């Protein structure tokens, strides 16, 4: 009876170790929002605004042309995320890249495309232009 309990204990321990060993290491409980393991860094809206205001960032809007023409952050260059892989020659390799979209989903995809292509100074703006506008930051509104 005692040996059965010991065996059961080790079986449960082994299964637990296996499950924990297979856990997604990309998931973290970081509170600062940065995830350098992805190869890019998430920045707050306030940090993004400072980067843009400094003028030392290539601002990349990865939404569709229609979305961009409706509204965008001043100075942004528009390359649809679906075209980014074939238009990397339009993105400078020697500059800091700040990527945004409408809400932050497509910018994650675009940031990963850039990192996979060898870009090293890539920042993602979670919340996108939707959050940007909600904070009252300026943007260009199309007609």
CA distances from 121 to 52, 62, 76, 100, 115 (A): 14, 17, 17, 15, 8
Q: Which of 84, 91, 97, 101 is catalytic?
A: 101
14 by DSSP, 3-state: which?
helix
Name residue 42's beta-bridge partners. 124
Number of helices followed by number of strands (H, E) in the chain:
5, 7
Q: Which residues contact 109 (CB under 8 A, 6 or more apart)?
A: 62, 81
- Please say if 17 is a catalytic residue: no
d(C-alpha 18, C-alpha 12), whole Å: 10
For the annotated catalytic residues, the residue numbers are: 101
């Amino acid at each position: 009876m005692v040996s059965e309990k010991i065996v059961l204990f080790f079986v449960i321990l082994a299964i637990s170790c296996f499950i924990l060993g297979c856990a997604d290491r990309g998931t973290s409980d970081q509170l600062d929002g940065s995830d350098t393991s992805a190869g890019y860094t998430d920045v707050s809206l306030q940090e993004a605004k400072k980067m843009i205001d400094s003028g030392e960032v290539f601002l990349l809007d990865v939404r569709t042309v229609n979305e961009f023409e409706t509204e965008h952050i001043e100075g942004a260059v528009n390359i649809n995320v679906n075209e980014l892989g074939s238009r990397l020659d339009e993105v400078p390799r020697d500059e800091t890249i700040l990527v945004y979209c409408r809400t932050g989903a497509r910018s994650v995809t675009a940031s990963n495309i850039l990192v996979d292509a060898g870009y090293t100074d890539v920042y993602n703006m979670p919340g996108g232009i939707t959050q940007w506008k909600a904070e009252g930051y300026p943007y260009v509104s199309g007609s």
